[in-house]
């Protein structure tokens, strides 16, 4: 059962691992419905940021705490927990931060179907990297205040700054995550940036079949949420080494016997469909700690469902001509039928699985994000909404 075309950063196919931050290797298989190819948030306000990186639309909220997904302007009298900015207004906030990526690097990082270019990186993601750098420094300042309070006997060592990136299948959140990893690693304050996708924590295929969840791969219940939350909790606790399963989009399953090792990064980016969902109550009715409770900052990549559907189908078409041609691809069978038949199947999967998951589980978490990035029909960012402190 296909639920999503695979991610790709080089146009040849999706990446085949759980997410180490690098672009795809062209081994390809469609994604798992989670994306083409998952203790409290910091309340510190950012510092003044003396560091400089090394060279080398969401629309306004609706007054209830959730940014609207339309494009209309807010009336001045409307209250909102977000600061709503146009792309031009946001771009002005980069404050002379130099662009450390080349056009070739951006090309390698972008996903199949994305239209990211140097202008988009300069206008949108460079200011975001500056903002995140300020947040990291502010968190370090809070840690110093905490250590002053606790005294030398209980001094706390710094722990990784954790960023969550959420959004629909095919909306481009993987490209956003890879760009952030590349840009943030250029800042001298935090050169070690790791990227992990929630794909790695999908239940193995046999387990999904046993639970009758193959047609709901990518829905919250298809993940080992306890293992995923424990993974991030251990990293946030400052453990020296934490491991995760490895997922392959080629075989559409976990890779038996392989583990991804994360060794105390400065920043961890966690990317996936459901990463902003609150924890569900346990069987005993008690409230549990959710994955998002460990995030210091979160980004929701937003777009209209009709635009995302078009991007999804375009990417499926491209993958059918590239990654799906691999004889080992789980989805190689879609190269054996006509393009119309294959696209009809992809369209059905979007409307019965991915769109349902978006509307029921993913989009409702938009209001939990620190920053909502709104894309227009051309895949380019139009507006951004930043949560007030």
Among the ranges given (14-23, 182-191, 286-295), the one the predictor scored with the smallest mean pLDDT: 14-23
Q: Across-strand partners of 302? A: 374
Among the ranges given (199-203, 287-291, 361-365), the one the predictor scored with the smallest mean pLDDT: 287-291
Taking 70 as the threshold, does the pLDDT of residue 63 lie above it?
A: no
Taking 70 as the threshold, does the pLDDT of residue 1 lie above it?
A: no
Q: What is the pTM of this model?
A: 0.80
Structure confidence by residue, pLDDT tens digits, 117-149:
889 999 999 999 999 999 999 998 888 888 888
- Res 280: pLDDT: 78
Q: Please, are residues 42 and 30 in contact by the beta-carbon 8 Å criterion?
A: no
Please report how the helices 173-184 and 126-150 are oriented relative to each other, as an axis angle in degrees rounded to 10.
60
**Residue owning tokens 């404050």:** 95
Q: Which tokens hold the place of 177?
A: 């995550």
- Res 303: pLDDT: 98
Average pLDDT along the chain: 82
Among the ranges given (56-70, 202-216, 348-362, 373-387), the one the predictor scored with the smallest mean pLDDT: 56-70
Q: What confidence category does residue 24 fall into, taking pLDDT thresholds of 50, 70 and 90?
A: very low
Q: Which tokens hold the place of 31?
A: 């994604």
> CA–CA separation, 16 vs 336, rounded Å?
23
Structure confidence by residue, pLDDT tens digits, 288-314:
889 999 999 999 999 999 999 999 999
Q: Residue by residue, what is the 3-state secondary structure of the chain?
A: CCCCCCCCCCCCCCCCCCCCCCCCCCCCCCCCCCCCCCCCCCCCCCCCCCCCCCCCCCCCECCCCCECCCCCCCCCCCCCCEEEEEHHHHHHHHCCCCCCCCHHHHHHHCCCCCCCCHHHHHHHHHHHHHHHHHHHHHHHHHHHHHHHHHCHHHCCCCCCEEEEEEECCCCCHHHHHHHHHHHHCCCCCCCCEEEEEHHHHECCHHHHHHCCCHHHECEHHHECHHHHHHHHHHHHCCCCCEEEEEEECCCCEEEEEEEEEECCCCEEEEECCCCCCCCCCCCCCCCCCCHHHHCCEEEEEECCHHHHHHHHHHHHHHHHHCHHHCCCCCCHHHHCCCHHHHHHHHHHHHHHHHHHHHHHHHHHHHHHCCEEEEECCCCCEEEEEEECC
| Phi, psi torsion values for 355, nearest 5 degrees | -65, -40
Neighbours of 249 (CB within 10 A): 32
């Amino acid at each position: 059962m296909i639920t999503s075309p695979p991610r790709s950063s080089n146009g040849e196919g999706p990446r085949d691992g759980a997410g180490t931050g690098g672009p795809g290797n062209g081994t390809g298989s469609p994604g798992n419905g989670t994306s083409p190819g998952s203790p409290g948030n910091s309340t510190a306000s950012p510092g003044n940021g003396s560091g400089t990186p090394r060279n080398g639309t969401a629309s306004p909220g609706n007054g209830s705490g959730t940014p609207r997904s339309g494009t209309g302007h807010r009336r001045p009298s409307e209250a909102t927990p977000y600061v709503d900015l146009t792309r031009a207004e946001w771009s002005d906030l980069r404050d002379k931060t130099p662009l450390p990526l080349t056009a070739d690097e951006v090309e390698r990082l972008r996903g199949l179907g994305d239209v990211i270019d140097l202008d988009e990186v300069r206008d949108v993601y460079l200011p975001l990297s500056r903002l995140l750098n300020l947040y990291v420094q502010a968190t370090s300042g809070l840690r110093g205040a905490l250590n002053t309070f606790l005294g030398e006997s209980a001094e706390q060592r710094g722990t990784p700054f954790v960023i969550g990136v959420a959004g629909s299948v095919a909306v481009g959140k993987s490209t956003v995550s890879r760009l952030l990893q590349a840009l943030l690693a250029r800042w001298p304050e935090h050169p070690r940036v790791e990227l992990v996708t929630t794909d790695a924590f999908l239940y193995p295929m046999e387990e999904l079949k046993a639970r009758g969840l193959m047609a709901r791969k990518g829905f919250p219940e298809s993940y080992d949420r306890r293992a995923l939350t424990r993974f991030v909790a251990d990293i946030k606790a400052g453990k020296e080494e934490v491991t995760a399963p490895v997922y392959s989009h080629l075989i559409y399953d976990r890779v038996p016997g392989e583990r991804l090792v994360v060794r105390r990064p400065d920043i961890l980016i966690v990317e996936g469909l459901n990463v902003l969902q609150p924890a569900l109550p346990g069987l005993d009715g008690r409230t549990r700690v959710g994955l998002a409770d460990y995030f210091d900052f979160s980004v929701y990549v937003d777009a209209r469902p009709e635009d995302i559907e078009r991007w999804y189908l375009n990417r499926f078409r491209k993958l059918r001509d590239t990654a799906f041609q691999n004889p080992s691809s789980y989805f190689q069978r879609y190269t054996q039928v006509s393009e119309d038949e294959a696209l009809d199947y992809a369209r059905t999967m979007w409307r019965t699985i991915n769109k349902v998951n978006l509307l029921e589980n993913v989009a409702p978490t938009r209001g939990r994000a620190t920053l909502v990035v709104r894309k227009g029909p051309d895949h380019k960012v139009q507006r951004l909404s930043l949560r007030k402190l």
